[in-house]
Structure 1
Amino acid sequence: MEVVDRLARIEKLITIGSKNVLTTDEVAMLLGISTSRVRHLVCDRDIPHYRKGNKTYFRKSEIEDWQLSQRIPTNEEINKKATTHVVLNRI
């Protein structure tokens, strides 16, 4: 990647960081996926979005929440939950 390309990417990322409403291209860059993948997520209604005419917009905070929506518990959390379940449900 050339220096000019890197600078352009950095500039776009800085712009995304300061915005609250994003376009499809900006969401793709933020998520590190292709624009077509974002469009598929929109089409399948798997990602929160808004429409104004034929344009699609995304609220940055909702995208960040969506990214973190399927948290995987740690082994420690699973073990604590299992221990609690065994203690409370003894026969």
Structure 2
Amino acid sequence: MENPFEIINQRLGRIECLFENINSIISNKNINTAYPELIDVKALADYLKVSTSFIYKMTSSNQIPHSKKGKKIYFDKEKVTNWALESSVMTQEEMQDVANKYSLKRN
């Protein structure tokens, strides 16, 4: 019959190993997410479901956030997503709420 303290000690050792593995995975994930996810024109066109010529037109008129390195154009996916969401149109309900708040402030 095994000593119950040895069994507990073995299990604690396995738990420590699992925690170390989890900690290393989390550390690696934090390192990888420190850099922005860069995508090219084709990937951005696919992501936004528009043509590449539309993307080039937007970059030439500086209407979309981008970076240039030589002849290559890169986009930070998070910045482009935020840019796309900035341009959202209010629903009828949202416009009504704004109008109601405005009229309450005036009175």
Q: TM-score, normalised by structure 1?
A: 0.69
Q: Which residue of 2 aligns with 1:58?
A: 75
Please tell me whether residue 44 in structure 1 is matched to residue 79 in structure 2. no
Alpha-carbon displacement from aligned partner over 1:25-51 (angstroms, at most 9, x marks no partner): 111111111111111111011111001
Structure 2 runs not aligned, ≥5 long: 1-35
Shift of residue 79, structure 1, vs aligned partner: 1.6
Q: Which residue of 1 aligns with 2:8?
A: none
Give every structure 1 segment of 4 or more consecutive aligned residues whose post-TM-superposition deviation is greater than 6 Å: none
Which has the higher Rg, Structure 1 or Structure 2?
2
Please tell me whether residue 74 in structure 1 is matched to residue 91 in structure 2. yes
Measured in 2, the distance between the counterparts of 1:37 and 1:84 equals: 38
| AA partner of residue 78 (structure 2) | S
Please tell me whether residue 24 in structure 1 is matched to residue 5 in structure 2. no
Structure 1 runs not aligned, ≥5 long: 1-18
Measured in 2, the distance between the counterparts of 1:32 and 1:80 equals: 31
Secondary structure class of the residue paired with 1:87:
helix
Q: TM-score, normalised by structure 2?
A: 0.60
Measured in 2, the distance between the counterparts of 1:24 and 1:81 equals: 37
